[in-house]
Amino acid sequence: MIETEHLGKRYGRIDAVADLSLKVAPGQVLALLGPNGAGKTTTMRMIAGFLVPGSGRACVCGHDVVRDPMRARRSLGYLPEGAPSYGELSVAEFLAFAARVRGVTGIAGNRRLDEMIERLQLQPVLAQSIETLSKGYRRRVCLAQAMLHDPPALILDEPTDGLDPNQQREVHALIRGMARDRAIIVSTHALDEVRAACNRVAILAHGRLRAQGTPSELEQQSRYHRAVSFRAPASALARELLGRLPEVDAVEVDPVDGRITVFPRDGHEIFGSVVKLLEEQHVRVDELQLERGRLDDVFRSVTGDAIDTRRAA
């Protein structure tokens, strides 16, 4: 439904996006991750037809965004970065305008408009001018605009940026609800958003695709995959003995919360031998856990950049 082939865009000497090939099928919600300046917005703007690709191509529902722009745009809903709209219009006026432009008219159109107003809980602010709205409401108005014509493909550039936790949860639920038969791309800096709303991940850095797969597949690439972590108050000896197990790569203690993590060597299964050793040494442990892997760890290793830890999983 959304496809790019060797997509690229250059600004002077900078490859904002280079050789990017992605496929998003109906039912898939792709999280586009990457540090600031990685090329997420440039990619989304090219797919949405707001920026002409420098190389390669992008298609929405089989329509090339350059050769068949009207059909491509008709199939797509787009929430641009920062959720821009017409500040001086009231919410009702703006949505009515967006509906007319999208050809969402007549009785069915009015019904659709009412449905979007209800789903995004815009009733209380319908008469208010957009420039006086809170950030959260502004984003919801723009989301309503993007979904008015019930498009089979959606591009959402940082849809929850600036929303409070309740509003974020609502948007995640909305995205999950829409995903059943749509192809959706969501860019985000919040790694917890990936588990909350997405079933595919692509990580960009310096305009290039560095990793892609399901969230679980990427988590399995992390050194935390199959690590065993626990809390234990006085266990220096046990820690040393754990470190000597042949299938253990390292034992680390978190300097902040004191949690101990035992990392496997070459993806070995170590849970059984770690538990056995702890029992033999009569170490009392709390919160023993087999780790599935961490997306923030993969992000860090494939991009080499610091992540936004404010909302990291």
User: Which residues here bind ligand ATP, judged by CB under 6 A?
Assistant: 11, 14, 16, 34, 36-42
Give CA–CA dist 184/155, Å, rounded.
Answer: 6
Which of 15/249 has CB closer to ligand ATP? 15
CB of 283 to ligand ATP, least distance (A): 44
Distance CA 34, CA 295 (A): 12
Task: Tell me the one-letter amino acid at 26.
Answer: P
Q: How far is the CB of 41 from ligand ATP (least distance, A)?
A: 3
Measured from the CB of residue 186, what is the shortest distance to ligand ATP in angstroms? 13
Q: How far is the CB of 112 from ligand ATP (least distance, A)?
A: 31
3-state SS assignment for residue 190: coil
CB of 37 to ligand ATP, least distance (A): 4
Which is nearer to ligand ATP, 206 or 225 (by Cβ)? 206
Measure the CA–CA gap between 5 and 66, rounded to whole angstroms. Answer: 13
What are phi and psi for residue 50, nearest 5 degrees? -90, -10
Nearest distance from residue 175's CB to ligand ATP, in Å?
19
74-to-42, 50, 70 alpha-carbon distances in Å: 20, 14, 6
Q: Strands of 55-60's sheet, edge to edge?
A: 14-24, 2-11, 55-60, 63-64
Minimum distance of ligand ATP from residue 184's CB (angstroms):
17
Handedness of CA 220, 223, 228, 230 (dihedral sign): negative
* Cβ count within 10 A of residue 291: 20
Residues 148 and 172: their CA atoms lie apart, in Å, by 18
- Which residues are CB-neighbours of 176 under 8 A, at least 6 positions away? 29, 197
Q: Which residues contact 130 (CB under 8 A, 6 or more apart)?
A: 85, 86, 87, 88, 89, 90, 91, 94, 138, 141
Residue closer to ligand ATP, measured from CB, 82 or 243 = 82
Least distance (Å) from ligand ATP to the CB of residue 158?
Answer: 7
Nearest-5° angle of CA 132, CA 174, CA 180? 150
Strand partners, 201: 31, 213
Q: Which is nearer to ligand ATP, 38 or 197 (CB)?
A: 38
